A = this chain, B = another copy of it.
Amino acid sequence: MPRTSIPIDPIHHLSVLDEHGKVDRKLLPAIPPEKLLRMYATMVRSRRLEESMLRRQRQGQMGTFAPAMGQEACQVGAMAALEERDWLVPSFRELPAALWRGAPMKNVFLYAMGFEEGSEVGDPDRDRVLPISIPVGSQACHAAGLAWASKLKGDGAVAIAFFGDGATSEGAVHEGMNFAGAMTLPAIFFCQNNQWAISTPRRIQTASATIAQKAVAYGIAGVQVDGNDLFAVYRAVSEAAERARKGEGATFIEAVTWRKSVHTTADDPRVYRTEAEEKAWEGKDPVVRVRRFLEAEGLWDAAKEEALVAAADREVNEAFDAAVAYRDGDVDPLEIFDHVFKTTPPDLLRQREQARAWIGGRRVIIGAGKAKTKPGGAAAVGELEEADDAPSKKGGAR
């Protein structure tokens, strides 16, 4: 047997509901209509919230953020397939997932306005959600550890980590997935391959034909799904969770999707993306696809849509106003000293006193009392200017 082939476990591709509304009934997961409608509502609420945030960011009412538009099916599909006890480990583009888990929109705005308050959850023991983690690739190891804790405690919980196509190039993602494989941990690594890492196309990240096949390196299950297909995602994650809970270990899921909007509000995709690409993806919007399905099933109509959108917009506006009221209220700028250690050491208390003396009566919270529509806020000198100084300066939503 001098030159032989090594057998390799197959990597599957999964799709259930295509862009023309064609559905594979055999694979369609059995989701109660009530839950399905909540899933759809979450997708719409997220979309409306982000549209509002893009506007408000351009008006200088909040800082930069990374919109998830186009990736709602990935996140809502995945989270809906899991349980409350399961851990959500997000990156920085996981608004739909957070909303599914009950994050108040006020917190979303607070975070975007630069307040740690936005990362708070209701009950840190019950709300199994980690805060936004911006270092690309950092999520995999944290999820492996959470999954490991759950395995040690035997509580049946699964941990899901979200990250992007770009993140798969990071060593930390490799280490986390390999760890989870080697230790048979109940973890799900969910890669939203949205085709771009800022301006870097998927093709530049890796020579592997699919991202899903990276699972082969870790001896874990690997699946590629249509990430704009709510049901394919739901099914893949359900199956992964089942495997995990049965003690069969981790799964790596590549969800093929597309970042509809900017990388962050500081980015201008027109520099690096073609119109042809935008055209090609336009027809695949995951929200529209679910709506069509719901309508075909007789679960949805124009009036319901209108009511949903109106309610979402109301929720968004109320949340924004509440966040502004918080920001403009009696916020302690020196609270930053209070959450560094369990008990603040004497030296930090002294630094806090120095800071208090120096600030005196000055107002140092950034944005506080800011006119709601000051234009070009974030573009002023000394503020975040990742964007070009070209005409399309603020790289608005596309």
Contact = CB atoms under 8 A, between A and B. Distances in A.
Interface of A: 1-8, 10-16, 24, 26-27, 168-175, 178-179, 181-182, 184, 204-210, 212-214, 216-220, 224, 232, 249
B1 A12 contact: no
Nearest to A215: B217
Contact of A213 (B8, B12, B209): B8
Nearest to A23: B2
A196 to B, nearest CB: 15
Given A182-B204, A208-B219, 17 more contacts: A1-B13, A2-B16, A3-B27, A6-B209, A6-B213, A8-B10, A170-B171, A171-B172, A178-B205, A178-B206, A181-B206, A182-B205, A182-B207, A184-B207, A208-B217, A216-B216, A216-B217
A147 to B, nearest CB: 14
Contacts of A174: 171, 174-175
24 contacts: A1-B13, A2-B24, A2-B26, A2-B27, A3-B12, A3-B14, A5-B12, A6-B11, A6-B12, A6-B209, A6-B210, A6-B212, A8-B8, A8-B209, A8-B213, A8-B216, A171-B174, A171-B175, A181-B206, A182-B204, A206-B217, A208-B218, A208-B219, A217-B217
Contacts of A8: 8, 10-11, 209, 213, 216
Contacts of A218: 206-208
A11 B4 CA distance: 8
A169 B6 CA distance: 21
A189 to B, nearest CB: 13
Contacts of A173: 171
